[in-house]
Amino acid sequence: MNRLALSIYAAVLCFAGTALAAGPTTHTRTLNITGIGAAASAGNVDVANGACNIDPWVDHCSDTSCTCLEITVSKASGSMDAGKQTVTNFFVTSDQDNNPATEPTPGGMGPNPRCNSFLGILTDTSSGEAKTLNLYGVSCKKVIGISSGNPSGTHVGDTIVGGWGISASPAPPVPDASGWGTLSGSDVKLTGATSVKISGLVTE
């Protein structure tokens, strides 16, 4: 192979390598959120069923007894977006009619069983990047201090588990990306303090 042919071959290999490197890649990404949850303002609530009305994903209720919460985020960290991240528009529809624990406590002597499904949405942004995440899961009340003198215990908050996915609504991600994964968290009944940990695969 002469020198010209070698040069052309090397250039083709270099170009091909660059093209391959420029394609999408998949990595594990995380997002850790802390904030305060409270009842959403009336303008963000569907009057027909109590669900959040800011996006079709969260504007669903199995009947008419949903509640809409807005989480005001004080801290967001992780690798969902590159650099310092900000989480806004964090809304959760809790479906009070959707409870799998339908058998009451025997003789009324025990904690009142309750788990509720929820739908959530949030926007995570950083310099040059933005993703809307749809959330789906269940929150189950956390009870402590059960005793003969306090058979119902004390409801101190909720434990949260579920899944998430990158959404194309209300705006597609920038840059283009897809992804999904799991979430876990908790909230404190007295203060509304909320923490959520998100982890999964993102391709972009």
pLDDT tens per residue across span 49-86: 999 999 999 999 999 999 999 999 999 999 999 999 99
Separation between Cα atoms, residue 99 and residue 140, nearest integer Å: 9
Q: What is the pLDDT, as a whole number, of residue 21? A: 52
Separation between Cα atoms, residue 63 and residue 165, nearest integer Å: 25
Query: In which residue ranges of the chain is pLDDT below 70?
Result: 1-21
Backbone angles phi, psi at 17, to 5 degrees: -65, -40
What are 183-192's pLDDT values in tens digits?
Answer: 999 999 999 9
pTM of the model: 0.86
Asked whether the beta carbons of 174 and 129 are under 8 A apart, the reply is: yes
In the chain, the amino acid numbered 2 is N
Asked whether the beta carbons of 136 and 105 are under 8 A apart, the reply is: no
